[in-house]
Amino acid sequence: MSTYISAESLGHSFHDNWLFKNLTIGINRGRRVALVGINGAGKSTLLKILSGSLKPTEGKVAQSKDLNIGYLEQDPHFKNAVTISDYIFHADNIQQQLIRRYEELLENDPENMKEMDKVMEEMSEIDAWEYEYKIKTILGRLDIHHLNQHINTLSGGQKKRLALAKLLIEDPEIYILDEPTNHLDIDTIEWLEKLLTEGSKTILMVTHDRYFLDNVCNEILEIDRGKIIPYLGNYGYYLEKKAEREASDEATFQKNSNLLRKELEWMRRQPKARGTKSKSRIDAFYDLESKTKNNGPKQNVELSVKTSRQGNKIMEMHEVSKGFNNHTYINKFSYIFKKGDRIGLAGKNGSGKSTLLNLITGGLTPDSGEIIKGETTIIGYFNQSGLSFKEDERVIDIVKNVAEFITMADGKLISASALLTLFLFPPAKQYGMVSKLSGGEKKRLHLMSILIKNPNFLILDEPTNDLDIDTLNVLEEFLGNFPGILIMVSHDRYLLDKMTDQLFIMEPEGQVKIYNGNYSSYRIELEESKQQNKKPGPAAPVQTEQPKKAKLSFKEEKEYEGLEKEIADIEKTLKATTEELNTINIDPKKLSQLTDKIVYLNKQLDAKTSRWIELGELKEV
């Protein structure tokens, strides 16, 4: 099995803080690997180093000759590209440039038939139609339509989807993906899963989406305390083996700690000026110390703040409607929230999920209808815009701006600094700048700043982006015990299934369908409904009396007689072409030609058969 990328003795540091040292890693062709680890472990940094976009502080990376790497960053850069077309289509790729010209004609000058015919002919000559279909499918699935749009006018989510589209179109030898599911709706994630598991693609990725990880990857590498630990299996296998390893590590840690205490006593008893200590014993002490240091049981994020008391009247929505630019996103929606509601919002990007949330929080005013909020309802809104902070603001300032002391779930008061420590922000980080935090750490701080206000109506809009899996597990535990109302928008199907038991499904024309059940149940019912609709319905009633029609003219008689032979000839040719298409090891160019021919013959057959039936009915009058 050929090795695409290999790295030896890798080490990297930021501001004298080592993320990892002495890492050795190899990515072979056909492997689909997920990189996991807590926020700040260096996952994204390692992807940058292996892709060649960042030079390591120590060690070296070797790539196979002329390796085509596709690297999707968390925050993509577009170099000198101005429009979507500039970025998607390579100037030195003849097929892509013809497709670009064809798409631009369709969008900007569809009546220019002379130029359109010329481009279509050139595309046929170089067999570009299949490639054009692939490009159009990828762009359409990722909701990219206006190729002349300037990239600087796109949102962060649109830019991430554009970068993913380019990578999928190019189909590199190795995919290096940093959070590929961010900013995708669930339908698109499921489509991407199928695409990445077709053939024998080589993939190295970081993702927090556990269903996606489980379905795509067959190997996991965990970065833990600066070391790589391999697991040859999917996410379920990883969880099982990780639990076994941590149980073993805990036992080893306790044993080493006891030994260290004894060794420490021995070291302290020895006179400092004498050189009679056993050299081997001193070396063993330092070796044991290094094994024990920083290898104790891991800290977990502690999410247990007080929840405000909730009255009987929580929130009511009566015939609420909202639209923008002549498009209705919410149309006469009514719902009375009740205690224990755990609701997931489902729907494609742009279907109105954020609009509904902003109506609930009071960020938007309805065009019509009424929203009545209960007096005791305290809303906590974790939105996609993220944490708002000043450049010179410290981590501890974010908490102190809310309160110096915070009430925990058990009623105890603790200081802002103590709470930050529980949220895995040690004193050294508390007095550092917020701007220096990683994306996941900023998310965790944002969530904390909301929870300390003691909400009893919690709204989470895509809470999983940039959070590591360990933090997600703790967040799930907190949400499972949260006694208030929960509304969640998430493309993380695992989280939706686990945390919600009711869905608001955003449908066309601003309709909101209420579904009792989790997301997987909804998808199963949807699929069963589709299969049911494919079954043939009852036959239409036969007319007993045909309306009178004019008899055939001489010309139509001749046409009718000729059509029978023409239809027979087309059917014969179609059969022969189909048999040729099924030939094993057929040439790709020939395959494309035969497919086009079959499409053409079927159209001809349909048209002539319809005409033959029409004339036959006239003849029988």
Question: Bigger pLDDT: 188 or 582?
Answer: 188
Does pLDDT of 84 surpass 80? Answer: yes
3-state secondary structure of 113: helix
Same domain, 325 and 259: no
User: Which structural domain range is residue 446 located in?
Assistant: 315-530
Indicate whether 548 belongs to any domain. no
Residue in 243, 185, 221 with CA at minimum distance from that of residue 47: 221
Question: Of 109-113, 162-166, 277-281, 394-398, where does mean pLDDT reach its minimum?
Answer: 277-281
**Structural domain includes residue 453:** yes
The model's confidence at residue 279, banded by pLDDT at 50, 70 and 90, is low
pLDDT of residue 572: 83
Asked whether the beta carbons of 369 and 318 are under 8 A apart, the reply is yes
Tell which residue, 173, 39, 129, 37, has the closest CA to residue 591.
129
Distance CA 479, CA 28 (A): 40
Return the pLDDT at 68: 93
Q: Which of 223, 238, 253 is the last residue of a domain?
A: 238
Residue 140 counted as domain residue: yes
Question: Cα(212)–Cα(221) distance, rounded to whole angstroms?
Answer: 16
**Do both 175 and 209 map to the same domain?**
yes
45 lies in the same domain as 194: yes
- The answer to the question of residue 213 being in a domain is yes
Instruction: Specify whether 208 is located in the same domain as 266.
Output: no
Give the gyration radius of the chain's Cα atoms: 32
Whether 309 is covered by a domain: the verdict is: no
- Alpha carbon dihedral 597, 600, 606, 610, in 10-degree steps, equals -130
Q: Which amino acid is at 249?
A: D
How many domains would you assign to the chain?
Answer: 4
Q: The domain that contains 412 carries what CATH number?
A: 3.40.50.300
| Same domain membership, residue 493 and residue 568 | no
Between the alpha carbon of residue 486 and those of residues 8, 283, 379, 466, 499, the distances in Å are: 47, 56, 10, 21, 9
| Domain co-membership, 197 together with 234 | yes
- Is the pLDDT assigned to residue 611 strictly greater than 80? no
Measured from the Cβ of residue 243, the count of other Cβ atoms closer than 10 Å reads 10
pTM of the model: 0.65
Residue 208 has pLDDT above 50, yes or no: yes
Q: Are both 140 and 167 inside the same structural domain? A: yes
The answer to whether position 308 is within a domain reads no
Looking at the structure, tell me whether residues 447 and 353 fall in a common domain: yes
Residue 540 lies in a domain: no
Do 408 and 344 reside in the same domain of the chain?
Answer: yes
How crowded is residue 129: how many other Cβ atoms within 10 Å of its Cβ? 17
In the predicted structure, residue 115 carries a pLDDT above the cut 50: yes
Residue 232 sits in the same domain as residue 99: yes
Same-domain check for residues 329 and 387 = yes
Using the 3D structure, point to which of 174, 207, 238 is the last residue of a domain.
238
Shared domain for 474 and 334, answered yes or no, is yes
Which DSSP string do the residues of 335-401 spell out, in sequence order?
A: EE--TT-EEEEE--TTSSHHHHHHHHHTSS--SEEEEEE-TT--EEEE-TT-----TT-BHHHHHHT
For residue 296, pLDDT over 60 is answered with no
How confident is the model at residue 543, as a pLDDT?
Answer: 46
**Which of the pair, 410 or 445, is modelled with greater confidence?**
445
Predicted pLDDT of residue 547:
42
Residues facing 503 on adjacent strands = 344, 515
Q: Per-residue confidence at 161, pLDDT binned at 50, 70, 90?
A: very high
- Whether 591 is covered by a domain: the verdict is yes
Residue type (1 letter), 84 = I
Q: What is the pLDDT of residue 258?
A: 66
DSSP-based three-state secondary structure for 534: helix
* Per-residue pLDDT tens digits for 517-569: 988 888 888 888 877 776 655 554 544 444 444 456 666 777 777 787 888 88
Indicate the length of the chain as a whole number. 621
Which of 261-265, 324-328, 447-451 shows the lowest per-residue confidence on average (mean pLDDT)?
Answer: 261-265
